[in-house]
A = this chain, B = another copy of it.
């Protein structure tokens, strides 16, 4: 689930479908997949697909439409479902707000929360934004950089001009924040304006055992049984402007709110989703996927898995340790499972091979057309060159990235080096952290850090990382390691070296002694020498990556153009945290041999899973209600139970969490919260057979809200009788 984007507050756009210059597509662009920018909705035959309202009702730049009910919410999506600014989103999107509001006495995380009156609603620190308008600023951006030839400088210049445009268009007083988003890498830029609301209050959350039912075990899993929803309310100053929390604030009156349809959906029904999907990588050449498949995904998932297993082994049977590691494990496991899903998916559909074949055909097509050949004749060789270099340093890149971040000792090793180097400089040339005023704080922080080291995890993880590094290929050799351990160093030398690091960082007195040394002496310390060598290579690798990415920025923009020429059709840009539309149907799937999963789960499955305990423990009340069969209007005769979750073939990714799922009439019938395991490769390629997203059924949302913590008043507010 999740991978909630950290960035929030995003922005709007226009002519985004790529057409190759001069070539008229033989048919209107009707891709079978896609996260459509709003400008493209009108080009899709949605009526044929099942939509019963006009596309103007979904998006109308001249008037009010469904998109006015959408909010971007701290890396998630939400939607207004009442005239009084009530927002529905996921439980996992409200998690930190619920958690922050909870105490031992009032454990809202465990028990759920329901504001009995408006005054009881709990303010938090988040904000949300509503897209107001967008404008294509590609010409402005590209003009500003047309004379910049150095690829690294070009990227910096783009960042500068887009920042300037964003700032000029923002109007804080009128609660407008603007941001330029890169739609197609290196070529298309859109300025989005957002209305910002700064007072968001928690209204309702189900007990965690419902909102997070299945926990890590069921993460990325279908059949799913999670009631992953919560309600917020948006507040503004009495004059309608964005204001931070004040008791004088009033509920925001959205231009539009979604009608809730308590009847839900059935298999085969048409659906669409509006939301803020984070990041996809579909318009990249085979080599990009190969890089992910061969380097990034396995390195990180393997490293995280090792960390998780280390923590699990240490804490087995020790409740306190288990609790201590729980959230760290959870974070690592979410990424690990996603990456493993991607690796499995890439292997299964052999996407790298597929893309390679496609690229070969594209290359031949271009060769056969003089005009295109003139323009793109060198493109593939150039791409090859850059990606070959990128892969050459890939292992080192991963090591200096995710690897280094996984080791607290390595971070302190680096601090030790900076300390040695900076204190050797005259006061006025030092980095600010190391000036006379601050230096003692750096030192005491380091001493303090060391006290909290979890050596039982630190040491094996560091050993593993360094041993892995011994096996890196030529271009990625970690030289510092050999400088420190000797040319022919092996696993034994790594063990000894790490034990030595432990003897230093596991002993405050020894560390104090080292820190007290003057710069020149400290620079001779073997750890500092190692750190210096590491830091040097890191900056070389970073520079190389920047250069390659600078070159790729241009090449990839050409690649997209060349692809459009070759495919002779338009396609929509990769997701980039801007508002998108996607549509599809309630649909089961067959992810493994002889296996078929139906697209609707019921409360029976919740009860069944509850017997396995662990992540599946449920509130006693849920069992009681189940046994009473007290489902009222939310019972589905067709599903023979109370529907809980829905599966559909829409195109979503992280950031779509909390997106409303809308039926053919534009009524909300569920809330999107996850993808199936096989759909983790959606980020690289959408496919009808494996791409499935998961939402909580509105019937479960309403039933739980009504039955737990007396949330019936919300049904009334949403007009559900």
Chain A interface (Cβ < 8 Å from any Cβ of B): 222-223, 225, 313, 316, 344, 347-348, 588, 592-602, 604-605, 608, 611
**9 A-B pairs whose Cβ atoms sit less than 8 Å apart in the complex:** A223-B595, A313-B316, A347-B611, A588-B594, A592-B608, A593-B605, A594-B602, A595-B595, A596-B598
Contacts of A313 in B (CB 8 A): 316
CB of A295 to closest CB in B, whole Å: 19
Contacts of A588 in B (CB 8 A): 594
Number of identical protomers: 2
* B598 touching A597, Cβ below 8 Å: no
Contacts of A592 in B (CB 8 A): 223, 605, 608
7 nearest CB pairs, A to B:
A593-B605, A223-B594, A594-B598, A596-B596, A594-B601, A593-B601, A593-B604
In the complex, the chain B residue whose C-beta lies closest to that of A600 is B594
A interface majority secondary structure: mixed
In the complex, the chain B residue whose C-beta lies closest to that of A607 is B593
CB of A400 to closest CB in B, whole Å: 29
Complex formed: what's the CA distance from A605 to B592 in Å? Answer: 7
Complex formed: what's the CA distance from A599 to B611 in Å? Answer: 27
* A225 touching B611, Cβ below 8 Å: no
Complex formed: what's the CA distance from A598 to B600 in Å? Answer: 18
CB of A684 to closest CB in B, whole Å: 18
CB of A116 to closest CB in B, whole Å: 34
CB of A35 to closest CB in B, whole Å: 26
* B593 touching A595, Cβ below 8 Å: no
Given A344-B611, A611-B344, A611-B347, check contact A605 B594 (CB 8 Å): yes
Complex formed: what's the CA distance from A594 to B594 in Å? Answer: 14
CB of A447 to closest CB in B, whole Å: 35
Centre residue among A598, A600, A602 by max chain B CB count within 10 A = A598
Within the complex, which residue of B316, B598, B611 is in contact with A595, where a contact is CB–CB below 8 Å?
B598
* A597 touching B594, Cβ below 8 Å: yes
In the complex, the chain B residue whose C-beta lies closest to that of A644 is B593
Given A347-B611, A608-B348, check contact A595 B597 (CB 8 Å): yes
Contacts of A598 in B (CB 8 A): 594-596
Within the complex, which residue of B225, B596, B611 is in contact with A593, where a contact is CB–CB below 8 Å?
B225
Contacts of A594 in B (CB 8 A): 222-223, 588, 597-602, 605
Complex formed: what's the CA distance from A344 to B607 in Å? Answer: 13
In the complex, the chain B residue whose C-beta lies closest to that of A598 is B594
In the complex, the chain B residue whose C-beta lies closest to that of A606 is B593
Within the complex, which residue of B222, B344, B596, B601 is in contact with A597, where a contact is CB–CB below 8 Å?
B596
Centre residue among A348, A588, A592, A594 by max chain B CB count within 10 A = A594
CB of A598 to closest CB in B, whole Å: 4
Contacts of A344 in B (CB 8 A): 611
Contacts of A602 in B (CB 8 A): 593-594
Contacts of A601 in B (CB 8 A): 593-594
Complex formed: what's the CA distance from A588 to B593 in Å? Answer: 13
Contacts of A597 in B (CB 8 A): 594-596
Within the complex, which residue of B593, B596, B600, B604 is in contact with A608, where a contact is CB–CB below 8 Å?
B593
Complex formed: what's the CA distance from A422 to B225 in Å? Answer: 64
Excluding A348-B608, A595-B596, A595-B597, 4 further A-B contacts by CB distance (< 8 Å) are: A223-B592, A593-B602, A593-B604, A595-B595
Contacts of A316 in B (CB 8 A): 313
In the complex, the chain B residue whose C-beta lies closest to that of A602 is B593
Contacts of A599 in B (CB 8 A): 594
CB of A636 to closest CB in B, whole Å: 13
CB of A170 to closest CB in B, whole Å: 47
Complex formed: what's the CA distance from A351 to B223 in Å? Answer: 26
Complex formed: what's the CA distance from A316 to B316 in Å? Answer: 14
CB of A317 to closest CB in B, whole Å: 10
Complex formed: what's the CA distance from A316 to B310 in Å? Answer: 13
